[in-house]
Chain A
Amino acid sequence: MADELLRLGLHDLHVSLGGKMVPFAGYEMPVQYPAGVMKEHLHTRAAAGLFDVSHMGQVILRPKPGMEALALALEALMPVDVLGLAPGRQRYGLLLTPAGGIIDDLMFANRGDHFLFVVNASRKAVDIAHLTEKLAGAAEVVPVTDRALLALQGPQAEAALAAHVPVAAMRFMDVAVLPSAFGELWISRSGYTGEDGFEISVPAARAEALARALLADERVLPVGLGARDSLRLEAGLCLYGHDMDETVAPVEAGLGWAIPKLRRSGGARAAGFPGWESVLGDFEGHLHETIVGLRPEGRAPMREETHIYDGDRFVGKVTSGGFGPSVGAPIAMARLKVDVTAPGTQLTGEVRGKRLPVTVCKLPFHPTSYKR
């Protein structure tokens, strides 16, 4: 194991912008800039925020026999519809262990003659090894190491990016390869904030110029990991290593929506993915616990690991929790026994030895505004 933190290609830019650098997933990352988490969060919801997400893994899967064979091979690894994903479209996917636990959650795009995966930084080595082994006959797995990845998120993201590349016609989860003054950009209309926005893969050598060009737009503020976390939490989006890991199955992580009818019992391509018996059983009354939203009654945030009780019965733990700047109150996601997951259920969370009231609620906490 390397103890030394890796530096992002845009490290100097973050430092020059006053970014406070902290270790995250093996990288030195900006947790916040001088504006601070609260302002960065609210600015992203009101205008646009620019995030450096170059720590995430970009991986190309080049088909050996053909795209259809690769799509089917991927359906043997993920409980999603890969075959039906049209060129120019992206989808959310989950790699599963033989027991149905989540190896990683990711985005994958059909780019005509190959797939592009974007995976979590902390899991990229595991994912690449897994894909390389499992797809040995179906694909060549090629990590992309010469590109940075920026996310531009918020209601003004389209206007700010359209000044450089024609993205206005893209819809949520579209992907495109567009030439620009910053080289060839690989753009998806997606993100992880609940806002409309884009993820932009840019040649490493041109990344700083693109970031500076976007930041020169007064609508765009640099945003660090702190606000990235509060934004995704308000949007009810799970974070790997917190709300899910290899011991948690998709429906237990509240990710049942990611498994289409096609892959569920009775569907045309039902089952056939790792751990399908137990994963699909979770849709059929075998589920023991799942993720819900919690609204603490007072102002005290309930952080990850906070124990939740129904009367005297321990019913689960907070998996992600903090303060929601747009909600204006503490919010949390917790994995709880299914019998206490109905919205409106009154429970308590133990904070510093005191049991404080919380109410189960639906996710997200803040409405999403994707451009569908």
Chain B
Amino acid sequence: MKYTKEHEWLRVEGDLVVVGITEHAATALGDVVFVELPEPETMVSAGDEVCVIESVKAASDILAPVDGEIVAVNEALVDTPALVNEDPLGAAWFFKMKLDDLSVLDDLMDEDEYNEMIG
């Protein structure tokens, strides 16, 4: 698993990368009540705002962690936003991306580095 400074996790699954938010981020957001997902088959660049998450407290964005194509989104989050709090690392994945080159993941943090960042 790889991590971004924006508290996303990335997991390689075959030739795709699955993206979600970390438990730390889910806890900080509080109870999630709304998720807006991107359209599948969208080309995105790292840093693009691709999802909206709203908790009881506030709205925040999920940014595309790397360049690539969004090929699948997790519709279950639209009907059950609370999954983000219940299972952020599993059932609450947000989208799957196809990358030209998986080696860009090498630039991201590993678990130890991420844990160090969040202290």
Contacts and interface: CB of A to CB of B under 8 A. Distances in A.
A323 B59 contact: no
Contacts of B81: 299
Contact of B54 (A31, A32, A39, A323): A323
B69 interface: no
Nearest to A38: B31
Contacts of A299: 33-34, 78, 81
Interface residues of B, number: 14
Interface string A310-339: 000000000000110100001000000000
Interface string A12-33: 0000000000000000000110
Contact of B57 (A226, A300, A352): A226
A88 interface: no
A226 B92 CA distance: 24
A325 B55 CA distance: 11
Given A299-B81, A300-B36, A301-B59, A37 B31 contact: yes
A352 B55 CA distance: 16
A289 B88 CA distance: 43
B38 interface: no
B30 A36 contact: yes
Contacts of A325: 31, 56
A322 to B, nearest CB: 6
B56 A322 contact: yes
A301 B36 CA distance: 11
Contact of B31 (A31, A36, A330, A352): A36
A303 interface: yes
B52 interface: yes
B30 A32 contact: yes
Contacts of A230: 56
A330 B59 contact: no
B30 A330 contact: no
Given A299-B81, A352-B52, A37 B57 contact: yes
Interface in A38-97: 38-39, 41
A323 B59 CA distance: 11
Contacts of B56: 37-38, 41, 226, 230, 322-323, 325
Residue of B34, B58, B78 with highest tally of chain A CB at under 10 A: B34
Interface string B27-61: 00011011010000000000000001011111100
B110 to A, nearest CB: 28
Contacts of B31: 36-39, 325
Given A323-B54, A352-B52, A303 B33 contact: no
Contacts of A330: 33-34
A301 B34 contact: yes
Interface in B1-51: 30-31, 33-34, 36
A31 B36 CA distance: 25
A321 B31 CA distance: 16
A322 B54 CA distance: 9
A230 B54 CA distance: 14
A300 B30 contact: no
Given A37-B57, A301-B54, 8 more contacts: A31-B57, A37-B55, A38-B30, A226-B56, A226-B57, A230-B56, A299-B34, A300-B54
Interface of B: 30-31, 33-34, 36, 52, 54-59, 78, 81
26 contacts: A31-B57, A32-B30, A32-B57, A37-B30, A37-B55, A37-B56, A37-B57, A38-B31, A38-B56, A39-B31, A226-B30, A230-B56, A299-B33, A299-B34, A300-B34, A300-B36, A301-B33, A301-B54, A301-B59, A303-B58, A303-B59, A322-B56, A323-B33, A330-B33, A330-B34, A352-B52
Interface of A: 31-32, 36-39, 41, 226, 230, 299-301, 303, 322-323, 325, 330, 352
